Each structure stands twice: as C-alpha cells, then as structure tokens.
Amino acid sequence: GQQLNQSPQSMFIQEGEDVSMNCTSSSIFNTWLWYKQDPGEGPVLLIALYKAGELTSNGRLTAQFGITRKDSFLNISASIPSDVGIYFCAGMNYGGSQGNLIFGKGTKLSVKP
Amino acid sequence: GAGVSQSPSNKVTEKGKDVELRCDPISGHTALYWYRQSLGQGLEFLIYFQGNSAPDKSGLPSDRFSAERTGGSVSTLTIQRTQQEDSAVYLCASSLTGGNGYTFGSGTRLTVV
C-alpha cells in the first residue's frame, strides 16, 4: 500500500531559526495535510493543500504541494519555543484504501539544549 | 459538540479484561477514523467509517479489536481480552465528508497492567 517517508525524524531548534521538513511518497495524492501534535493532545490541522504546486501560508508556517503530487514540505520561519511538538504529514486520496488518509511517522521538534 | 470528544481520557485495565472506548464526532460529520499511537510513534490506522458504507476494517490488528458506529454518529472501539501490547493512545478523528482535513479528539490513553 501507499507509504509516506517523512524527514527528518527529529530535529533541534534554536529560537529564531527557520525549520524545514518534508514528506515523499511512491505514489500520488490528491490532498496533503500537515498536523501538529502537542503532548497529551490529538493532532491539530495546520495547513491543507488541495492542488499540485499550491503554496499556502498560515502565519509563520508555509507548506507546498509538490508539482509531481508525490511530495510536500513544511517550513516554519523564526521558530519560537511553542513550536516544539511532533509534526505529521498526511496524504489523502478520496475513496482510496485505509479510508483515504495515510500518515507519515512524524518529525519531532525539540529545543536545542 | 464543538469538537471531537473521546472518553474516557485515561483507562487502566487488567490483562485479559475487555475495554470499550467511545468517540463522539463533530455533529454532522459523516467520516470517522480510529487510530492507535504507541509512545513516541506515528499514527497506526485501525478502522474507517464513511456514512452508510461498509467500514474499512483493514487496520484492525487482530480479531480482539472491533468497532461500531451507531446511527452514523457515536463510535465505540472494543478491545477484548486486552494484552499489554494494546497499551497506547487511541485517537478518533472525524470529517464532514471524508474529503477534507480531519479533526482529532484528545485520545484515550489505555494502559494494560
């Protein structure tokens, strides 16, 4: 079945730095979603992308739907401490298997010691 | 309600006992997912309900797991004869049509002792 490769698995951030993470797939998706999960909570939707090539921003977050429909990236500019958490990408094909929603394994953001 | 509600938030059970986890989706949402998340891991798909269609049960790990959705609203995930490896956070998510981003509940943390 479809699988998503999300990288990096983890990264340390220093306040003010820009952060980038991405997801790739062996097959195409019609929609890409990016979620953030804080400890003890469910994932919260950050950005949804519906069209190949689409570039969408939500505050300091910017995400793009790759032109090949097989990849997406998320950038966080000028990171702040509350950005720490786990970020998940998800690809969706309406009517596909697994109820059409496939998640990456997550990128864990931590503060640099 | 305003969001996806899951109960209980925490459940400790003895090995071999049955447990029921409940999910109240957002009113009017036709699509509902159950996921399992082990400590520090990604989201493992369990089951997907979409309207009146037959559910996609392809993610259920064994026949000890079952789920139902009554009246197209509330869903219950049942785990029979619980094992220690069932310990995880069980997350529920719902969506208006299945073609949009999903809203997650805060999860039920299940501990089997």
End-to-end CA distance of chain A, in Å? Answer: 39
What does the pLDDT read at residue B1? 55
Mutant choice from A101, A102, A108 vs B, greatest count of B C-beta within 10 A: A101
**Rounded Cα–Cα distance for residues B64 and A75 (Å):** 41
Which residues does chain A have within 8 Å of residue B48's beta carbon, measured at their own beta carbons?
A: 98-101
Comparing CB atoms, the residue among A88, A97, A100 nearest residue B43 is: A88
| A42–B93 CB contact, under 8 Å | yes
pLDDT in tens, B36-70: 998 877 888 899 998 888 898 989 999 999 999 98
Please name which of A30, A22, A31 lies closest in space to residue A75, comparing C-alpha atoms: A22
Place A1 in a pLDDT band, splitting at 50, 70 and 90.
low
pLDDT band for A61, please (50, 70, 90 cuts). Answer: very high
- Residue showing tokens 């208006």: B96
Residue A4: the pLDDT is 87
Q: What is the mean pLDDT of residues A23-50?
A: 92
Residue B100 pLDDT level (bands cut at 50, 70, 90): low
* Average pLDDT of the residues of chain B: 91
- Could you tell me the CA-to-CA distances from A94 to A98, B5, B25 in Å, in that order? 10, 25, 20
Q: How confident is the model at residue A100 (pLDDT cuts 50, 70, 90)?
A: low
Residue B47 makes CB contacts below 8 A (sequence gap 6+) with A99, B33, B34, B55, B56, B57, B59, B60, B67, B77
pLDDT tens track for A85-96? 999 999 887 655
| Residue-wise pLDDT tens digits, B6-45 | 999 999 999 999 999 999 999 989 889 999 998 877 888 8
Those of residues 36-75 in B touching chain A at CB distance below 8 A are: 40-43, 45, 47-48, 50, 56, 58-59
Note the pLDDT of residue B102.
Answer: 85
Burial class (CB in 10 A: 0-12, 13-18, 19+), B76: middle
Q: Do B4 and A42 touch (CB under 8 A)?
A: yes
Instruction: Check CB contact under 8 Å for B42 and A41.
Output: no
B56 contacts on A by Cβ (under 8 Å) = 97-99
SS3 breakdown of chain A: % helix, strand, coil, rounded to 5? 5, 50, 40
Where does the pLDDT of residue A113 fall: very low under 50, low under 70, confident under 90, or very high at 90 and above? confident
Residues of B in contact with A94 (CB under 8 A): 98-99
